[in-house]
Chain A
Amino acid sequence: MSDLSRREMFLKVALAFNGVIGVVLGVPIVRYLVSPVTRGRKPGYESWISLGEINQFPSGETRLATYRHPLANASDGETADIACWVRHMEGDKFQVFAINCAHLGCPVRWFPQSGLFMCPCHGGAYYSDGARASGPPERGLFEYPFKIVGGKLHIQAGEMPTPGVSPPTAASALIQINAYSSFGDAVRLDKRSPCA
């Protein structure tokens, strides 16, 4: 073996060595980058969050409620304060709607006189029960599962609802629900779309 070809072989070995190290370093880098996705699967972002006493939501009215995201940290500031619409029909019948329009996520506003939620961005409108009334949304408002524990209204929330396919853990928050549960009862899921 000539001196030159020996050095060429050394170069190849050195490059291969760097390649292996590159792959070894690449694994933690990729895992770090995709952690927002993988983390969503394992412990899950969803949890039960209290919106406060049920008596602040008078029967027959729809009111704005806010909660602090349970996973919030100091740098989140006010962005971790999430709003939602609570509709109290009667007794323990509630509906809790995400603030985000089912079209592209803008904040919908409730107009009690006309009984409509209206979106300021692209003109979506929904009836008082969250069903689509008009405009670009293809479905009704996103609804959170709820339960009443010790006189307080709790909702299962965590991820910003979006119109696309829902991740496994957030499935319950992203489908339309007729959840008329009382204390301790399991929430009844009804996958019927109100758009139909």
Chain B
Amino acid sequence: MRLMRRIGGWFDQRLQLGAPIRETMEHPIPRDTASWYYVFGSAAMTVFGLQLVTGILLALIYVPSAGEAWDSLQILNHQVTLGWFIRALHGWGSNFMLAIVLVHMVQVFLFGAYKFPRELTWIIGVLLLLMTLGMAFTGQVLRFDQDAYWGLGIGASIASRVPVLGPALVSLVLGGPIIAGATLSRFFALHVFVIPGSLMLFVGLHVLMVLKLGINEWPMPGRVVRRSDYLEKYHNLTHTQGVPFAPYGIWKDAVFSGVILLCIAACALYFGPFGPSGQPDPRIIQTAPRPDLFFLWLYALLSLLPPALETPVLLIGPAIAVVVLLVLPFASGEGEKSWKRRPIAVLTILLVAVGLGTFTNMASHTPWSPVMEASTGVPVPPKLVTGHSALEIQGALVFQSKQCHNCHALGESGGKRGPALDAVAVRLTADQLVRQVLQGGGNMPAYGKNLNPAETMALVAFLETLHPASQAPAQDASHITAVQP
């Protein structure tokens, strides 16, 4: 024991870190702040540490070359001992890190912790969020599969829409004229050097400021922040009723970080690594690329926005969102901290959460995409063709062979791009059906060139049978009058 102390003393005489570490550990925090609500920041930092370690481990095997990256991921998954587990830890760590960073941000926002004097801590936090999102996107690219390849194409296409600078940005993003070796190399440099280096620097500053300015006190309704007297009040709070950070606050941080690491390990063990999906060969076009979980909402938004709104929303929307986040601490740097007195803040969070959740949920069904295999793999339900005339059955064949089923559902099967046709005869008369099929409209292509008159007749005869037994098909009113005066 004496030897240990002597060795410790020898190092401390040279490093001189003992006193500042002790001071940091024992600095007083408000009594209420030693709470389970204040554990997300430290957990995010712990997961970042896990990402650094597993990232370095993956870099021992991974080859950042467009021709070999996919193969090296297969080697990690199938040949290297526990390579799959390290990949799974890194992949799940990424999802957990983003989720925790978002929860941390929501907590900080609802607890008013961005107000005076912690404006800069919040601003650096916003930059950390953007960098974490950057790590998620570049990491998805390094998993160099079909999704990564076409995801890069989507990224380049978005970049190309920037006025004036668009084409130059595309070349800069891709590192050349096409998605190829240079593209992967620059995303590797971003993911492994540039962004993690910046993250480490900014995480350091973020934590330093939390220590220097003190952790946010528990918000009490009516305890209003004013620049004139906040520092004095906070000083009283910490120095009269405060408790030392260690062990009062830090034990909860440590427990929560451990639980999160355990959850990541459990997910990695149970669900395994993410992909890679098919080879990044642009000649293989039988693919339906989709982004990772945290970008699914964007995928839905890109499908649902009206075409004319897309470019402005894509280019201006993110800029506005970032500016709003950066300006927030200056716009409301004083006042109530408690969420109980800030209904608009609570509603904003609910609105954003419901919006992102809805878009993410929609992106897991992709109702906007044609079901490419429906015409060959999903039959017309037999009950819709039994007991029908030859012409109507011929129409069902036309429906299938002309790929109507890719966009229109019949009895729950098929695409959802267009309306389901189970009761189309109730909505449209025979003449209206002919017009819609031949001329298209309302986001439906015109089939006039691809259907001959006999096929059109048969198809419409079949569609005319699609109505519930209890509802009569639509009829042309003028026709009824003419026939039955």
**Contact (A134, B443) CB under 8 Å given A109-B286, A114-B403:** yes
Nearest residue in B to A83 (C-beta to C-beta)? Answer: B283
A105 in contact (CB, < 8 A): yes
21 A-B residue pairs with Cβ-Cβ distance under 8 Å, sorted by A, are A33-B172, A34-B168, A40-B167, A72-B180, A75-B68, A77-B181, A78-B280, A82-B282, A103-B302, A106-B150, A111-B406, A115-B450, A120-B372, A121-B369, A127-B446, A133-B445, A137-B307, A164-B157, A164-B160, A166-B167, A170-B167
A160–B153 CB distance below 8 A? yes
* Distance, CA A44 to CA B368, complexed state (A): 38
Q: Does B235 contact A (CB under 8 A)?
A: no
Question: Measured between alpha carbons, how far is A83 from B172 in the docked complex, in Å?
Answer: 23
Among residues 83 to 134 in chain A, which have CB atoms less than 8 Å away from a CB atom of chain B?
A: 83, 99-100, 103-109, 111, 113-116, 118-123, 125, 127-128, 133-134
**How many angstroms between the C-alpha atoms of A45 and B157 in the bound complex?**
18
B279 beta carbon closer than 8 Å to chain A:
yes
Our pick among B68, B289, B307 for the contact of A120 (Cβ within 8 Å) is B289
Contact A37 B168 (CB under 8 A): yes
Q: Of the 9-residue stretches A3-11, A51-59, A63-71, A146-154, which lies at the interface with chain B?
A: A63-71
Residues of B close to A162: CB separation below 8 A: 156-157, 159-160, 166-167, 170
The count of residues in chain A whose C-beta lies closer than 8 Å to any C-beta of chain B is 61
Within 8 A of A (CB), among B294-337: 299, 302-303, 305, 307-308, 310
Complex Cα distance, B290 from A118, in Å, reads: 16
Q: Are B375 and A165 in contact (CB under 8 A)?
A: no
Q: Which residue of B lies closest to A46 (CB)?
A: B177
In the assembled complex, the CB of B223 is this many whole angstroms from the nearest CB of chain A, namely 48
The reply to whether A158 and B305 contact each other, CB–CB distance below 8 Å, is no
Min distance, Cβ B403 to any Cβ of chain A, angstroms: 4
Q: 1/0 contact trace for B369-405 toward A, CB 8 Å?
A: 1101001000000000000000000000000011110
Once A36-B174, A162-B170, A165-B164 are accepted as A-B contacts, the answer to whether A116 and B445 lie under 8 Å apart by CB is: yes
Chain B hits for A99, CB < 8 A: 282, 285
Q: Residue B154 at the A interface, CB < 8 A?
A: yes
Contacts of B68 in A (CB 8 A): 75, 77
- Known contacts: A164-B167, A164-B170, A167-B167. The answer to whether A114 contacts B402 by CB under 8 A is yes
Which residues of the other chain, A, contact B170 by a CB distance below 8 angstroms?
160, 162, 164
Question: Within the assembled complex, what's the spacing in Å between the Cα atoms of A37 and B158?
Answer: 17
Contacts of B450 in A (CB 8 A): 113-115
B250 part of interface (Cβ distance < 8 Å): no
B377 → chain A closest CB, angstroms = 14
